[in-house]
Amino acid sequence: MSSVIIHLDRNINDDVSDFEYLFRLFNQHRDHQDKHIRFQFTGCEFLRPNAVAFLGGMTRWLRHKNNDLVYDLEGLPNNVRMNLEQNGFLHTLGIGSSPWDGNSVPYREDHTYRSDFTDYLKERWLGKGWLSVSEDLKRYIAGSMVEIYDNGCNHARSPIGTFTCGQHFPKLKELKLAFVDFGVGIPFNVREYLKTPFITSRDALQWAFTPGHTTRDKLDNLARGNGLKLLTDFMDANNGKMEVYSDTGFARVGRGTPVFQEREVQFHGTFVQVSLKCDSRHYTLPSEDDFDSQEDLF
């Protein structure tokens, strides 16, 4: 069995360049099979939750391809190791101590849809006191994210499932949640549904963000397809931000005019990150009518 070293040689934040670094890393190694792979972290002293969720998925992908994979904990900086133990990442992979309560939204893997994801969102992401939100608003936001989660579990066709992690940053007064699947991607499903194979990833994402658009059977649930709109409305009303990477497409909504772009670095899957400001405001619902329309998502 030949050996491969995957070397994370930089801090990984959550700017566009950091996501593209992760995508390039995955693209470089995704086809390895029957190899001994060692992750090394020399030079990496910081990982944001987007990197944690992505590395979890990359680990499962490589193991799915029958690779023997280990993490070089000797080279792992203490602060990074403590964070990966606290959020449960290392414990989930069977190489670390039990997690503990702190500033993280626990790392989570789901190979199939699980109904307790809603409770995870309401209690471990929105219910820790980092935001001033009502129970109705928790249900509203969680319901929108559950639709994205459901798509990742049931429609992305990922052989390894979905991966989620978050973090509260007290000094930055920000709360982040990252969600990734390693499936076919939103543009692929849009092209297949519209029977338009040449639509760009950018235009496919813009289509997906249009209210009421969904690649599912409309008879499945009349409320389906509104999840992205509801999240977009909430971001606009409350200084939040949501970013989506899928195939070569990029979308950002909230904190200004929506952005839809075509990018060079491809990722066959979907990555969603939500960023919320943790200030003294009481977060509100953008529209009572929109809130009511979401009831059937549960």
pLDDT tens, position by position, 138-192: 888 898 899 889 989 998 999 999 999 999 999 999 999 999 999 999 999 999 9
Edge-first strand order for the sheet with 3-7 is 3-7, 36-40, 68-71
174-208 burial: b if 16+ Cβ within 10 Å, else e: bbbbbbbbbbbbbbbbbbeeeeeeeebbbbbbbbb
Return d(Cα 293, Cα 86) in angstroms, integer: 37
Number of structural domains in the chain: 1
Q: Sort 296 into a burial class: Cβ within 10 Å, 0-12 / 13-18 / 19+.
A: exposed
Tokens matching residue 250: 């990029």
Give the domain extent around 20: 3-297
Tell me, what CATH number does 276's domain have?
3.30.565.10
Return d(Cα 53, Cα 174) in angstroms, integer: 18
pTM: 0.91
188-236 pLDDT per residue, tens: 999 999 999 999 999 999 998 887 777 665 434 333 456 667 778 788 7
3-36 pLDDT per residue, tens: 999 999 899 999 999 999 999 999 999 999 999 9
